[in-house]
A = this chain, B = another copy of it.
Amino acid sequence: MSEPHVHRDSVPLRRLEAFSDGVFAIAATLLILDVTVNGSPLSAELLRIWPSYAAYAVTFVSIGIAWVNHGTVLSLIEATDRRFVLLNILLLTFVAFVPFPTRLVALHILDDEARAAMLLYGITVTVGAFVFTGLWFYAAKGRRLLKPTADEHLVEGISRSYLAGPFVYVVATLLAFVSPLVSAALFIVIALFYLLESSLFARH
């Protein structure tokens, strides 16, 4: 029953994309539910909650970048198997969890609970990044699930880049023990780096 068994559990790429796109889009859009304001006058409150805007913007863009990378992986894959599908569900579990620590960071980055909030944020993003890297290497190892046409140079470049990624997040997370604000700043710098890298270098 091996062949049928494999067939039975693999999901067409098209539906994997649709489900993943849905989770990425919903997780990003739900972030706005945590931007709230109490007290008055409203104009002063709207200025006071600037960490909420920053947390919203940085996390929305970070989820967007993760979605771009996810698209890159899927575009290089010929087909899924059951383990790939389950790793993908595990990845989405972390993507959809992100709004919770984001809310905590927005609320507490300026008070003395900042360390706990940044640690939870950092752990979520870091473990999620490791799962993402695992997803890629599961597909790429021995070109297990890759398209025959996927360029070997490109595959190796992605492997190097995805291997390094999570460790940058480890550093940013550990920095929360030294200073939660510096840790938060590094997460912002990482998001900006991705944006600028593509603006400056993508076209030559």
A contacts with B: majority SS: helix
Q: Quick check: is A178 within 8 A (CB to CB) of the other chain? A: no
Beta-carbon contact of A158 and B8 below 8 Å: yes
Shortest distance between the CB of A115 and any CB in chain B (Å): 7
Interface residues of A in 1-23 (CB under 8 A from B): 1-2, 4-9, 11-12, 15, 17-19, 21-23
Across the interface, do A28 and B96 meet the contact criterion of CB distance under 8 Å?
Answer: yes
A89: interface (CB < 8 Å): yes
Q: Is the CB of B12 within 8 A of A71?
A: yes
Size of chain A's interface in residues, with CB distance under 8 A? 78
Contact pick for A96, options B31, B75, B96, CB 8 Å: B31
Complex-state Cα separation, A46 to B116, whole angstroms:
8
Interface CB pairs A-B, < 8 A, 29: A4-B153, A5-B202, A9-B68, A15-B21, A23-B25, A23-B28, A28-B92, A29-B30, A29-B96, A30-B32, A30-B33, A31-B96, A32-B96, A32-B97, A37-B104, A42-B116, A42-B117, A43-B115, A60-B89, A60-B93, A61-B90, A61-B93, A64-B86, A65-B89, A67-B89, A68-B86, A68-B89, A81-B202, A83-B202
Would you list the 8 A-B pairs with minimal beta carbon distance, nearest first?
A22-B25, A64-B89, A42-B113, A43-B116, A4-B154, A26-B29, A11-B71, A42-B116
